[in-house]
Structure 1
Amino acid sequence: MRTLVTGSAGFIGFHVARRLLADGHAVVGIDGMTRYYDVSLKQRRHALLRENEIFMGCEFMLEDAPRLEEVVDAFAPEVIIHLAAQAGVRYSLENPRAYIDANLIGTFNVIEAARRAGVGHLMIASTSSVYGANKEMPFREEQRADHPLTLYAATKKATEGMAHCYAHLWSVPTTVFRFFTVYGPWGRPDMALFKFTENTLKGLPIDVYNHGRMRRDFTYIDDLVEAILRLTTLPPRSDSADSPAGPFRVINIGNGSPVELLSFIEAIEEATGRTAIRNYLDMQRGDVPATWADTSALEALTGFRPNTPVSRGVAAFVDWYRDYHGL
């Protein structure tokens, strides 16, 4: 299977590409190598992928439509897995323009390239953040998602709408994933697990928002990758009940079992053998007190339900962090 993976030097894209390569699939990866966080980490990920001769890595921004079209035309992918995005809920408060450029323009270019190439399955990453102010839990795909609380969430919801239009107008088979707090080895330095682990090992305080009264549906990276790969061979059909207007579906990928933030911190303390210095703060703008995925649609389609416990996933991350930094 020829697969194009965008964001291949990013946390999730790297793991997806590595698994595809391990399973013998040809992969072309595209990454803009933006400086949102340490580029050397992205370079290390891409270097590992390049050790496999059936991987080709390209470095450019998806806003460059002509370059994207050249790569797609030359490779003729059967599947496109679009994971590139300007990530981060909080950073969208500081640099909103980056989200418009990457998440809207970049994603439109990917969707248009998929249409031109006639790909068999377009797969696009979205986020649990689109559920925004919804209070009914667990979050289900059929719930309305009309009240995003950050520009990041708003851009992701907009990309879902664009993808649905193309599925309807041009019959582009499209699956949108809504990811729930993905974590694990090679994770992003801006995410809580990385920052909490780093500061705890250094004896520095960690910022605990809403005084720890938060719950997250933490999803281990290997579970997420397994779900994505199982879905690659299951493109939606035009006559699907998922979307009577075209071959389109939205799928939650989460662990289905929210964990208290303080329990998450305790897992980090257990894995590091250190006690975290906790700096309790009020809720930050754009945050929500809880997320919780209903994963019954994923299980019905694939027979798989993510289930890695936080204690095991956190321990795997801490082992990687120590190895990566030579601790």
Structure 2
Amino acid sequence: MASFFFLFLLLLLVLLLLLAAIVRPRPVRIPLKGRHVLVSGGSSGIGFALARRAAAEGARVSILARDPDRLRDACDAIRRDTGVDAAALAADVRDPAAVARALEAVGPVDVLVCNQGVFVPQELERQSLEEVRFMVEVNLMGTFHLIKAALPAMKQRGKETGLPASIAVMSSQAGQVGVYGYTAYSATKFGLRGLAEALQHEVIMDNIHVTLIFPPDTDTPGLAQELKRRPEITSVIAASSGGMKADDVAQKALNGIKSAQFVVPCNFEGTMLSIATAGLSPQRSYLMAFSEVLGASLMRFIGLCFQWNWFSAIEKCHANKKRK
């Protein structure tokens, strides 16, 4: 028995050493002080909280959103809380020309946070294609527009300074697992994962590091609007994952950006989902890779248990509707 236990520990040690040798990209730190951080969707919610925290750490901050009045209020709040004068960029991320003009006006970016997002929950059969297109254009195409506009100057800036840069993409736990009522939204957030994985391959030799953030339901003005339309079944399923405050998500996100994590979960459920959906994603931490290798089978079993619970909830809700 003792020899078996020793052999097991030896195998774990060999696995750790192997992972330490092969995980890519290598660990790196992204400095913020004195550097230019641009946050889209930065006038409220997670984006505002993240911009304020970056300013508090000494970053030069720009926030981009559509509403000039809300942008002005957000900049005033950042100045009041941190003493930093944030730049306000009024642009619609659906318009690539407007995004390009805004980024040209504000200058090269060191840390780009693509945080904009809209969500209109509804079953696909009942949802208009205009609403579907709106989510695709803001959540997915808007991220392409931001990255395309920022990337050339980011690369040139990196050559001049020799410092690592970051592109952070705000996905969602609905970008890790599909949920009833989230068909269109999940499609946009799953798409961001493919964008981020491929982009990291393309920009790694330019010392640009991609971070993909997966927040759960977060207490923001957007969530308040979402809850007004969320189908009953969606609310039942979403109750299995705890919500978070915007400031807490912003802190998790900023920590992940600074440590150049590829995947940033924001709570315990998110960590489980990250292990369950690791797939072929990049991984900088050999300890996290170790958890993924050992935990994949267990997380798959837990995932099947969640699916059993969700399908049971769907069946129950439909049965209740038929009785009415």
TM-score range (shorter-chain normalised) is: 0.5 to 0.7
TM-score by length of 1: 0.58
Residues 1:11 and 2:10 are matched in the alignment: no
Residues 1:180 and 2:216 are matched in the alignment: yes
Please tell me the root mean square deviation across aligned C-alpha atoms, in Å: 3.8
Contact conserved, 1:10 with 1:84, CA < 8 A, in 2? no
Contact conserved, 1:72 with 1:113, CA < 8 A, in 2? yes
1:105 Cα offset (Å): 1.8
Contact conserved, 2:118 with 2:138, CA < 8 A, in 1? yes
Contact conserved, 1:6 with 1:82, CA < 8 A, in 2? yes
Alignment of 1:18-167 (within 5 A): 18-33=52-67, 44-49=73-78, 51=80, 52-73=83-104, 74-90=106-122, 93-94=127-128, 95-118=131-154, 120-133=165-178, 149-167=182-200
Distance between the aligned counterparts of 1:158 and 1:211, measured in 2? 24
Paired residues in the alignment total 227
1:170 Cα offset (Å): 3.5
Residues 1:256 and 2:301 are matched in the alignment: no
1:11 Cα offset (Å): 1.0
Q: Which residue of 1 aligns with 2:296?
A: none
**Letter aligned with residue 256 of structure 2:** L
Report SS of the residue matched to 1:215: coil
**Letter aligned with residue 256 of structure 1:** F
Distance between the aligned counterparts of 2:153 and 2:98, measured in 1? 14
Residue by residue over 1:92-124, the C-alpha shift from the partner in whole angstroms, topping out at 9 and shown as x without a partner, is 834112112212221111121232122610000
Distance between the aligned counterparts of 1:91 and 1:55, measured in 2? 39
1:15 Cα offset (Å): 0.9
Q: Which residue of 2 aligns with 1:307?
A: none
Contact conserved, 1:217 with 1:293, CA < 8 A, in 2? no
Contact conserved, 1:177 with 1:250, CA < 8 A, in 2? yes
1:31 Cα offset (Å): 0.3
Contact conserved, 1:124 with 1:177, CA < 8 A, in 2? yes
Alignment of 1:220-235 (within 5 A): 220-235=245-260
C-alpha distance 256-113 of structure 1, shift in aligned 2 (>3 A): same
Contact conserved, 1:2 with 1:26, CA < 8 A, in 2? yes
Contact conserved, 2:196 with 2:210, CA < 8 A, in 1? yes
**Letter aligned with residue 173 of structure 2:** S
1:29 Cα offset (Å): 0.4
Contact conserved, 2:140 with 2:188, CA < 8 A, in 1? yes
TM-score by length of 2: 0.58
Going by fraction, where is helix more abundant, 1 or 2?
2
Contact conserved, 1:7 with 1:14, CA < 8 A, in 2? yes
Distance between the aligned counterparts of 2:215 and 2:36, measured in 1? 24
C-alpha distance 189-218 of structure 1, shift in aligned 2 (>3 A): closer
Distance between the aligned counterparts of 1:67 and 1:210, measured in 2? 35
Contact conserved, 1:11 with 1:188, CA < 8 A, in 2? no
**Letter aligned with residue 232 of structure 1:** I
- Provide the identity percentage: 19
Report SS of the residue matched to 2:78: helix
Contact conserved, 1:122 with 1:175, CA < 8 A, in 2? yes
Residues 1:189 and 2:224 are matched in the alignment: yes
Q: Which residue of 1 aligns with 2:16?
A: none
Contact conserved, 1:256 with 1:295, CA < 8 A, in 2? no
Report SS of the residue matched to 2:268: coil
Residue by residue over 1:248-280, the C-alpha shift from the partner in whole angstroms, topping out at 9 and shown as x without a partner, is x22222x2169xxxxxxxxxxxxxxxxxxxxxx
**Letter aligned with residue 171 of structure 2:** S
Contact conserved, 1:111 with 1:163, CA < 8 A, in 2? no
1:48 Cα offset (Å): 2.3
**Letter aligned with residue 159 of structure 1:** L
Going by fraction, where is strand more abundant, 1 or 2?
1
C-alpha distance 83-133 of structure 1, shift in aligned 2 (>3 A): closer
1:292 Cα offset (Å): 6.4
C-alpha distance 42-54 of structure 1, shift in aligned 2 (>3 A): closer
1:4 Cα offset (Å): 0.3
Alignment of 1:235-274 (within 5 A): 235=260, 249-253=262-266, 255-256=267-268
C-alpha distance 69-219 of structure 1, shift in aligned 2 (>3 A): same
C-alpha distance 18-211 of structure 1, shift in aligned 2 (>3 A): closer
**Letter aligned with residue 244 of structure 2:** T
Alignment of 1:290-301 (within 5 A): 293=273
